[in-house]
Amino acid sequence: MKSDLINTDPLIALKQFTDARIAIGRVGDSIPIKESLEFKLAHAHARDAVYSVLDFELLNKRLAEFNLPILSLHSKAFSRHNYLKRPDYGRQLNDKSINELKDYNNESDITIIIADGLSATAINENASELLSALIPMLISANFTIGPLCLVEQGRVAIGDEVGYYLKAKYSIVLIGERPGLSAADSLGAYLTYCPKPGLTDESRNCVSNIRLQGLNYKLAAEKIFYLVTESFKLKLSGIVIKDNNGLINQ
Amino acid sequence: MYQYTVRHKVYKFQDLKTLLAKASPYRSGDVLAGICAETYEERVAAQIALANLPLKNFLNEDIIPYDDDEITRLIIDNHDKTSFSLISSFTVGELRDWLLMNTTDNHSITAIETALTPEMVAAVSKLMRNQDLIAVAQKIEVVTKFRNTIGLKGHFSTRLQPNHPTDDNKGIMASIIDGLLYGSGDAVIGINPATDSPTIAYNLLQLIDNLRLQFDIPIQSCILSHITTTLQLINNGAPVDLCFQSIGGTEKTNSSFGINLNILNEAYDATLSLKRGNVGNNVMYFETGQGSALSANAHHLVDQQTCETRAYAIARKYKPLLVNSVVGFIGPEYLYDGKQIIRAALEDHFCGKMLGLPMGVDICYTNHAEADQDDMDNLLTLLGVAGCNFIMGIPGSDDIMLNYQSTSFHDALYLRKVLGLRPAPEFENWLIKQGITDKLGNLIPINSSNKLLSGLLG
């Protein structure tokens, strides 16, 4: 009965070659219930991740180990719906946050921004672990690090404003990437030398897919550290920074 | 200056592009651009003013200046004044009514194809309900050929899209075999490569070409690299069937893609010169999508649907095999939810067909859009009724390289079944010969001695 109902078997051998949803069989011409629900579950995870929020209690507790001041900031986007419709708002700080940064008088080499992006889940699950690997490397190389800035409803370019107001030479933005069906908790790191409002993507470097089952924390931290040191050497960031030590694009 | 008065309130629209933007059905991208109607009443006032506008006016007012934009020049310089005489007395509203008349058929619409500018077509679409967009598009037959025949009435094709995050040969081939065994791939086997490496693209082209020759499959392949990479591949002797490029509706948008009409001319000539098609020589594959101009900050305050339709002026110059609106890929800041994606897809399909293009649609969404498979099922069914030439076929709807959801091999089978549609005739014969489907188009259960399957596994 079952093999009549779902014609899969000979194709299953193809599955070893790809993670694509091949060899899922059919009922009539339609997708069998098992696969149909697995797909729905993956989409549910992705949707939930888009609407997830930063867990401040957890993040404050875990980030405390670095003995750095922690600032809580907010973009101009006042809600998730507003954030999704107005990418320009997500790239700018609201007035209260700007005032808070203007009052802050401590220049540093590097400022680290932790923003929810399209998956706060990615931040809640990966940010502190990544920083545990990265911050000691930066400190031992004698970089000074400014406050850790948690940003709600933030996009990548919000790091330009934060870095600018904090007079930082370099910004590292850790942000939740757009969830896919295969991963809803992927963290991206966007690195910008001399951050200031108005920069675009070509002036940044990016390390992507940082998560437990993706690019692991240690390797991600090494990549970021390499890009940071190259940027300070060349006094710029972006596509001009080349993969000289074989670490990038692995 | 255009205007319309509703209950003593005078709505003024300072120029044609403002009128078009205000008349456009609501979508997030036009709000983001700050050009959307501010009230429901203003939108309808704009639509009424637009309906009253003679088509002639479109020839006297460029929405992007002629001197500033090569797409405007292309549109104006290629306008067919002779056939325009057939409709020169129409207003936009009268054009809409004429299109819906029972006496207006495929022949009468194609007769005015070159009389229409993209802006006229965009304008008329703004006055039409979804039903109208479907009813008129369904009248139009656009047939193109390379190694098979796509777009015939009663037929419906798929682009097999076997993407893989690392362009792994076996991973891609596994998805191709899976798709072929579901009867997918008659529009093209088209891979979005993970990188723009010419070496990898060459290798993938070779891979598909070997498969095609080994099993004598009447299909074409395409690696969706940048057009300059494809040109380089052609010069290096790669087996390039189709030349791909993303295009937009303004010169500035295309600059942001690293292309212009000269590059397209060069690539078109180079691909034609290979003469690899045996049924016909439509060799171009274009992709478009509402919002690309705004995203490149190259929209000149023209609404996103009109920008999109202007891209079709470029496409039709090169007699493409396939034009694909990748409608839901761009994200919710341009098309927020299922309703907006569905409307935009029907507009793109209608406008493309009106301009004589072999329109397909990537029925798709990203995970941050307010949409799901149910919305895609609705759109799939509507486009099937509208006579869409092709859709994507992706294993289980899930593109593991581009990270978005489109239509599955199963979705295409569903549509063929509920609407009685069949694959491209040459491909259908091949499916029967291979024992993949029977003569009625039903899939035959696959066993492990299947030649395609044992070829990869053995």
Which pLDDT tens digit goes with each residue over A90-125? 999 999 999 999 988 888 999 999 999 999 999 999
Domain boundary among B111, B137, B163: B137
Nearest Cα residue in chain A from B333: A85
pLDDT for residue A241: 78
User: Contact B174/A22, CB-based, under 8 Å?
Assistant: yes
B12: CATH: 1.10.220.70
Nearest Cα residue in chain B from A119: B368
Whether residue A6 has pLDDT greater than 70:
no
* DSSP string for residues in B114-160: GG--HHHHHHHHHT--HHHHHHHHTT----EESSSEE--TTB-EEEE
Under 8 Å between Cβ of B389 and B360 = yes
pLDDT for residue B449: 79
pLDDT for residue A5: 53
Please choose, from the candidates B337, B324, B333, the residue with its C-alpha nearest in 3D space to the C-alpha of residue B304.
B333
Under 8 Å between Cβ of A144 and A109 = yes
The stretch B68-95 carries a mean pLDDT of 98
Whether residue A248 has pLDDT greater than 50:
no
The stretch A71-83 carries a mean pLDDT of 97
pLDDT tens column, B415-449: 999 999 999 999 999 999 999 999 999 999 988 77
Distance in Å, alpha carbon of B198 to nearest chain A alpha carbon = 17
Whether residue A63 has pLDDT greater than 70:
yes
The answer on B373 and B319 residing in a single domain is: yes
The answer on B316 and B413 residing in a single domain is: yes
**Looking at the complex, does the CB of residue A86 fall below 8 Å from at least one CB of chain B?**
yes
Tell me whether residue A123 is in a domain.
Answer: yes
The answer on B86 and B220 residing in a single domain is: no
Nearest Cα residue in chain A from B177: A14
The answer on B155 and B83 residing in a single domain is: no
Residue A93 C-alpha from the chain's centroid: 18
Nearest Cα residue in chain A from B181: A11
Angle between helices B130-137 and B92-100 (to 10 degrees): 60
* DSSP string for residues in B318-358: T--SEEEE-TTSS-TTTS-BHHHHHHHHHHHHHHHHHTT--
Please choose, from the candidates B95, B25, B113, the residue with its C-alpha nearest in 3D space to the C-alpha of residue B54.
B95
The stretch A218-225 carries a mean pLDDT of 96
Nearest Cα residue in chain A from B33: A86
User: Contact B403/A178, CB-based, under 8 Å?
Assistant: yes
The answer on B263 and B355 residing in a single domain is: yes
Listed in sequence order, the residues at least 6 apart from A206 whose beta carbon sits closer than 8 Å to its beta carbon are A188, A189, A190, A191
Which residues span the domain enclosing A177?
56-234
Please choose, from the candidates B155, B173, B225, B220, the residue with its C-alpha nearest in 3D space to the C-alpha of residue B197.
B225
Tell me whether residue B452 is in a domain.
Answer: no
Tell me whether residue B448 is in a domain.
Answer: no
The answer on B60 and B151 residing in a single domain is: no
Distance CA(B113)–CA(B119), nearest Å, equals 13
pLDDT for residue B458: 60
A28-61: b (≥16 Cβ within 10 Å) or e: ebebbeebbebbeebbebbbebbebebeeeebee
Tell me whether residue B404 is in a domain.
Answer: yes
Tell me whether residue B305 is in a domain.
Answer: yes
Distance (Å) of CA B454 to CA A4, A21, B213, B215: 22, 20, 16, 12
The answer on B73 and B197 residing in a single domain is: no
The stretch B257-269 carries a mean pLDDT of 97
Tell me whether residue B439 is in a domain.
Answer: no
The stretch B321-336 carries a mean pLDDT of 97
Which residues span the domain enclosing B104?
2-137
Distance CA(B51)–CA(B238), nearest Å, equals 50
**Looking at the complex, does the CB of residue A22 fall below 8 Å from at least one CB of chain B?**
yes
Q: Which residues pair with B149 in a beta bridge?
A: B145
Look-up of token digits 């959307």: B36
Distance CA(A6)–CA(A24), nearest Å, equals 9
pLDDT tens column, B390-399: 999 999 999 9
Tell me whether residue A197 is in a domain.
Answer: yes
**A-chain residues within 8 Å CB-CB of B394?**
20
Secondary structure element (H or E) that encloses residue A145, with its range: strand A145-152
Nearest Cα residue in chain A from B413: A29
A157: CATH: 3.40.50.11240
Listed in sequence order, the DSSP H helices in B224-337 are 227-235, 251-256, 261-273, 292-295, 304-317
Mean of per-residue pLDDT scores for chain A: 92
Listed in sequence order, the residues at least 6 apart from B411 whose beta carbon sits closer than 8 Å to its beta carbon are B363, B376, B377, B380, B391, B393, B397
Tell me whether residue A249 is in a domain.
Answer: no
How many structural domains compose chain B?
2
Whether residue A250 has pLDDT greater than 70:
no
Listed in sequence order, the residues at least 6 apart from B403 whose beta carbon sits closer than 8 Å to its beta carbon are A178, A180, A181, A182, B366, B367
Domain boundary among B104, B137, B170: B137
**B-chain residues within 8 Å CB-CB of A19?**
165, 171, 400
Tell me whether residue A158 is in a domain.
Answer: yes
Distance in Å, alpha carbon of A65 to nearest chain B alpha carbon = 33
Mean of per-residue pLDDT scores for chain B: 97
Whether residue B365 has pLDDT greater than 90:
yes
User: Contact A84/B162, CB-based, under 8 Å?
Assistant: no
The answer on B384 and B309 residing in a single domain is: yes
Report how many Cβ contacts below 8 Å link chain A to chain B.
133
One-letter amino acid of B290: Q
The answer on B256 and B301 residing in a single domain is: yes
How many structural domains compose chain A?
1
Whether residue B359 has pLDDT greater than 80:
yes
Under 8 Å between Cβ of A11 and A23 = yes
So what's the ipTM on this one?
A: 0.94
Distance in Å, alpha carbon of B79 to nearest chain A alpha carbon = 37
Distance CA(B123)–CA(B104), nearest Å, equals 19
**A-chain residues within 8 Å CB-CB of B177?**
14
Tell me whether residue B438 is in a domain.
Answer: no
> What whole-number percentage of chain A has pLDDT above 90?
84
- Cα–Cα–Cα angle for B201, B205, B211, rounded to 5 degrees: 150
The answer on B148 and B132 residing in a single domain is: no
- Which of A21, A43, A85 faces B332 most closely, judged by CB atoms? A85
- Which of A11, A13, A31 faces B410 most closely, judged by CB atoms? A31
**B-chain residues within 8 Å CB-CB of A47?**
367
Tell me whether residue A223 is in a domain.
Answer: yes
User: Contact B397/A23, CB-based, under 8 Å?
Assistant: no
pLDDT tens column, A165-209: 999 999 999 999 999 999 999 999 999 999 999 998 888 999 999
Query: How many contiguous H segments (helices) and E segments (strands) does chain A have?
Result: 9, 6
**Looking at the complex, does the CB of residue B170 fall below 8 Å from at least one CB of chain A?**
yes
**Looking at the complex, does the CB of residue A168 fall below 8 Å from at least one CB of chain B?**
no
